[in-house]
Amino acid sequence: MAKSESAVGRRRFLKGAAVSAAALVARSAPVDAAPQGQAAARPAGAPAAPVGAQLRADTEPPPTGASPRLVEKPASDFMVDVIKTLGIEYAAANPGSSFEGLHESIINYGGNAKPELLTCCHEESSVAMAHGYAKISGKPMLAVVHGNIGLQHASMAIYNAYADRVPVMIIAGNWRDAGTRNNGVNSYHSAQDMALIVRDYVKWDDEPASLPAFAESAVRAYKIAMTPPMEPVLLVVDHDLQLRPTPSPPKIPRLVMPSPPAGETGAVREAARLLVAAESPRINAGRAARTPNGIALIVELAELLQAPVNGGGDRVNFPSRHPLAGIGAGAADVILNLEVQGAAGPAPAAAQRAANAKTINISSLGLFIKSNLQDFQHMADADVDIAADSEATLPILIEEVKRLMTPDRTRAAQARGAKFADAHREARQQAIATAAFGWDSSPISVARLCAELWDQIRTEDWSLVSWQGFISGWPGRLWNFDKHYRYIGGQGAGAMGYGAPAAVGAALANRAHGRLSINIQTDGDLNYAPGVLWTACHHKIPLLTIMHNNRAYHQEVMFVQQMASERSRGADRAHIGTTLREPNIDYAKMAQAYGMYGEGPIERPLDLAPALRRALDRVKRGEPALVDVVTQPR
């Protein structure tokens, strides 16, 4: 992005094009030479021939050492030192001149290591990659964006991470001082209060005006992002601040993470009393397990109470093959909500709740809330409401439950646990039977796609880095989700454009552990930002992408079909504006265009397993691969 009016965006003209233009102008000049000392006449409308200085500016790199200012210890070097103290391993960015000082310091002064710069083709992909990365690694990635336009591009991905309660650190470049910045793009891309663009959906933002302020703000931002409820944070960094000399770098504050807030003892004891006395307790887990230990704690509590656990769908909070996994059977008389958002609504499921059921909420979500965007959803009518981090509170709750469990209550719990185990086993058998429907159909059923894939990865250390919502939850019904990294959930705010880049970011985090990353990719989502396929190839991020290519935004197809039916107009035109056909998109060729192994489109069910095997071989060798599968709608 240019720094002055005379610059031409992010690229210079090719030298050959410039020379050809000069030759064309020369040929169009009149034959007769102008008198000495006078300019040659130029036909009306003919462009002026580029002068030597213009040609050099457009075709040659800047001369080494030509800058009027040579800075041996630029401030952006110190900024990299601060970032390194936070343990941030990667910085995802689409390049831009508002952060050119920081960019250069990362790759040269910082050695392009911790953080390593990841080249992205779109700012939304930068933030979405950081979103997926954090859900595997448990810590933020840095996303750097160019000015107000980069922040606007990134805004949708920031909102997804905000609604998903995921920590992401964002730095946006700015030319803050109107007295020194140039006209043109430097002004177009600047703002008086740049963070205002996304302030409704970041947890905290700052625009430090000095290096001591930057150091403190960066450490503060990291701590705020990582304190439950976790959220994105934003620092706006002035372009000129990055370039200043720093002969004596200021002190960097020490990073000491605060302990997550645990529930008040009296309220936790009341919650334990209700749970132990219940005849049919149920646990609803939302974003409850922040760490692998969170899963172990929920398992311990569920087994003490022999209570079924509804895992929430967007996190692995509980092993999917555990006998208590699921909603159980019958109506619950005591419900424990752990980090559940939107626990109530206009039409709650009456069959899952007894008439006089008691509700216990343990959640950090109430500790941070904003008013504009309605991501907080409906409130649960709680009898006990504990504003605290559920994972930090569970050890206290478990000890209180143990203290109250008498032999009689233990026997009652074991009896109901046996019934829940039977219900869980029946649900699993039903899912297997249902998966067989349309097994040999073409297009290929989503159930068969997931079953064939499971057969090839079940003995691997795998991780599903895409959402199940658009594939009818078939992995959750057929696969064994027994570890926290097995599944990262969905978008947060339900916005498209998240899936492919988040999968690449999650696969990057899995790469350090040698895990096999699986992305069942929806076609509509990939078309928002397909350039992330190039990022995966360029940075050698192993990821198996299987296209769920139903050639439509099928949820919207169903919405329009329903609306037409309600209005007695027929659904034969519901494909208009909702499908991706005529022409069909060839995703294998798209992958190949970005340098990735691509195969397909696969339409015959018998061709599916061999194609998956070939692609898996590529991924196991450390590269990304894509298989385009033409599928049933859901």
The model's pLDDT over 542-560, given as tens digits with 9 standing for 90+, comes to: 999 999 999 888 888 888 9
Average pLDDT, the chain: 88
Tell the CATH topology of 436-630: Rossmann fold (3.40.50)
Q: Maximum CA pair distance of the chain?
A: 115
d(CA 538, CA 531) in angstroms, rounded, equals 11
Distances (CA, A) of 199 to 119, 126, 194, 491: 26, 19, 9, 19
11 — pLDDT class (breaks 50, 70, 90): very low
The model's pLDDT over 295-327, given as tens digits with 9 standing for 90+, comes to: 999 999 999 999 999 976 688 999 999 999 987
What is residue 326's predicted lDDT score, i.e. its pLDDT?
87
What is residue 351's predicted lDDT score, i.e. its pLDDT?
46
CA 97 to chain centre: 25
Fold match between domain 75-243 and domain 265-419? yes
**Where are the domains positioned within the chain?**
1-68, 75-243, 265-419, 436-630
Q: What is the mean pLDDT of residues 583-612?
A: 97
| Peptide bond between residue 443 and the one before it cis (omega within 30 degrees of 0) | yes
Which two structure tokens, joined as six digits, stand for 148?
């107000």
Pick the closest to residue 145 from 156, 132, 134 (CA basis).
Answer: 156
- Weakest mean pLDDT among 100-104, 344-348, 478-482, 560-564: 344-348
375 — pLDDT class (breaks 50, 70, 90): confident
Q: Is the pLDDT of residue 355 over 80?
A: no
What is residue 300's predicted lDDT score, i.e. its pLDDT?
98
Q: How many CB atoms lie within 10 A of CB 297?
A: 22
> Which class is domain 265-419?
alpha beta
What is residue 405's predicted lDDT score, i.e. its pLDDT?
96
The model's pLDDT over 125-169, given as tens digits with 9 standing for 90+, comes to: 999 999 999 999 999 999 999 999 999 999 999 999 999 999 999
E strands within 563-614? 597-602
SS (HEC) of 188-220? HCCCCCHHHHCHHHCCEEECCCCHHHHHHHHHH
CA 603 to chain centre: 30
The CATH number, out of the four listed (3.30.479.30, 3.90.76.10, 3.40.50.970, 3.40.309.10), of the domain defined by the range 75-243: 3.40.50.970
Q: Is the pLDDT of residue 504 over 90?
A: yes
Q: Is the pLDDT of residue 463 over 90?
A: yes
Q: Are 395 and 295 in contact (CB under 8 A)?
A: no
What is residue 66's predicted lDDT score, i.e. its pLDDT?
53
H-assigned helices in 278-361: 292-305
Name the packing angle between helices 390-404 and 265-277 (round to 10°). Answer: 60
Percent of the chain with pLDDT over 70: 87
Residue 530 is which amino acid? P
Q: How many CB atoms lie within 10 A of CB 102?
A: 29
Name the packing angle between helices 211-226 and 75-85 (round to 10°). Answer: 20
What is residue 56's predicted lDDT score, i.e. its pLDDT?
62
Q: Is the pLDDT of residue 103 over 60?
A: yes
Of the two residues 539 and 8, the one the predictor is more confident about is: 539
d(CA 549, CA 545) in angstroms, rounded, equals 11
- List phi, psi (to 5°) of 354: -70, 160
Q: Is the pLDDT of residue 40 over 50?
A: no
634 — pLDDT class (breaks 50, 70, 90): confident
What is residue 350's predicted lDDT score, i.e. its pLDDT?
44
First and final CA of the chain: distance in angstroms? 42
Percent of the chain with pLDDT over 90: 72
> Quick one: CA dihedral 112, 486, 597, 533, positive or negative?
negative
d(CA 455, CA 435) in angstroms, rounded, equals 14
What is residue 464's predicted lDDT score, i.e. its pLDDT?
98
Distances (CA, A) of 364 to 72, 78, 274, 338: 46, 35, 21, 9
